[in-house]
Amino acid sequence: MKKEKVIVIGTNHAGTHSILEIANKYKDTHEVVTYDKNDNISFLGCGMALWIGGVIDSGDGLFYATPESLCEAGAEVHMKHDFKNVDFDKKTIEIEDLETGEMKTETYDKLIFAIGSWPILPPLPGHDLENIIYAKIFQNAQGAIEKIKDPSIKKVTVVGAGYIGIELVEAFKENGKEVTLINDMDVLNRYYDPNFQEMMRSNLEKNGIIMQLGETVTEFKGDGKVNKVITTKGEYDTDLVLMSIGFKPNTRVLADTGIELTPRGAILTNNRMETNIKDVYAIGDCATVYNNASNQFENIALATNAVRTGIVAGHNACGTPLEMQGVQGSNAIHIFGLTLCSTGLTECVAKSSGMEVETVEFTDLIKAAFMPENDEITVKVVWEKETKRIIGAQMASTSDITLALHFFSLAIQERYTIDKLALTDTFFLPHFNQPHNFITKAGLLALGKL
């Protein structure tokens, strides 16, 4: 029996996991071929700041797969090959060999797009000056490390106060640099409500970060190398600029192919990661996933989502039905000793989308008050007013409270209601928690608002 050919375009997190599912579990019925324009795969960008900040000695441990390991699993791997075009009717793709310049046309039975995302880089005046960098792939991290070794790089400006920007603010500060953070809004504004943003902002300021919030960069100046950042409110001397204002799906090449895209450029999929084109799938940062909190398909670019979508598409492409259970966008950050984590929707995001919500927020000790070693935790839970279903949670502490976020994530996925939270069966031991721990306490405090 002739094997079906599955072609995977893109071989980072989503693509790698899709390839491994096919190669390991369907080798008798399917062959899997992959093309990627990079020369490495599986780089864990979430560890980039740890490498740059010197927490880990090298980037070697930030890879969990190689082109060679995929080949050993049974895949046909082509690195330094750039996807150029697709003909869905003929089931063919065009690929350029970046080393030889040769164009190739390949046929497929099933096609999986794992083409990822790329940093948003606005064409501001002076954007092409030297020492303006961004953070995405392994080579970016390598370049940043080489830059900060230069003793002439004393002042670093980070533009963008999302997760990557804030993590790199800490990393540059740990390298002894004077660091300025510029953002047009507050810090982490999509992930947290104002009180939690204030905790992180105060934490950054306390650790010597110069904060310039509510400002938009309009220009870069310099003589070959950047030496000044101009904003709507001022100008700041700098030796290095890290741009981190967000990412967009890397789908421009698909704009006129007939595949359905969202207004922001993500490939629209269903819970099997199928597109509107038969036998074509999309996974990872370039695709949508179902958000259980908002009840909508959205582009939520997280490595965890990439892995799950890759697994799901791999099985469906080989004939085994498997559906995503939806996602909550669960996330966490640890900066200068402060841990913040969140899942689902914030109050601000929910209200901006037209939802009527209620919230409860409190600060309490994690363990029984008589315990000698104890830390505070701040918790906020958001629920839909009419249905009482939990749609979001945020937590902050100097202790590691992140495992509790998995409970709230599952609660959102399973449409758990806030009234049930109050009487959820949990254990009590003074070493770990209080009789009314911070999870059930959120539910108990919410009862007064129902």
The average pLDDT across 231-246 equals 96
Residue type, 186: D
Spatial distance between the Cα atoms of 367 and 377, rounded to a whole number of angstroms: 10
Catalytic residue IDs: 13, 46
- What does the pLDDT average to over 398-404? 96
- The C-alpha torsion from 449 through 349 and 137 to 96, rounded to 10°, is 130
- Note the pLDDT of residue 58: 84
Which pLDDT does position 48 carry in this prediction? Answer: 87
Give 350-374 as a DSSP string.
Answer: HHHTT--EEEEEEEEESS-TT-SS-
State which H helix or E strand residue 110 sits in.
strand 110-113
231 and 212 Cβ atoms separated by less than 8 Å:
yes
Q: Which two tokens stand for residue 96?
A: 């350029």
Residue 96's identity, in one-letter code, is E
Residue 54, pLDDT above cutoff 90: no
Residue 138 has pLDDT above 90, yes or no: no
The answer to whether 138 and 40 are in contact (CB under 8 A) is: yes
Percent of the chain having pLDDT more than 70? 100
Amino acid at 298: E
Percent of the chain predicted with pLDDT > 90 = 90
Assess whether pLDDT exceeds 90 at residue 44.
Answer: no
Mean pLDDT for 285-310 is: 97
Phi, psi of 223 (to 5 degrees): -110, 85
Q: Is the pLDDT assigned to residue 52 strictly greater than 90? A: no
With a cut of 90, say whether residue 29 has pLDDT above it: yes
- Least confident window among 30-39, 43-52, 310-319, 363-372: 43-52
Q: How far apart are CA 196 and CA 179, in angstroms?
A: 22
Mean pLDDT taken over the chain: 95
| pLDDT tens for each residue of 320-359 | 999 999 999 999 999 999 999 999 999 999 999 999 999 9
- Measured CA to CA, the distance from residue 342 to residue 310 in angstroms comes to 24
Q: What is the CA radius of gyration of the chain?
A: 23
Average pLDDT of the segment spanning 17-41: 96
**Residue 16 half-sphere exposure toward CB, CA atoms < 13 A:** 20
Helices (H), 180-302: 194-206
Contact 204, 335 (CB under 8 A): yes
Provide the pLDDT confidence category of residue 311 given band limits of 50, 70 and 90.
very high
Quick check: 281 pLDDT over 90? yes
pLDDT of 298 strictly over 80: yes
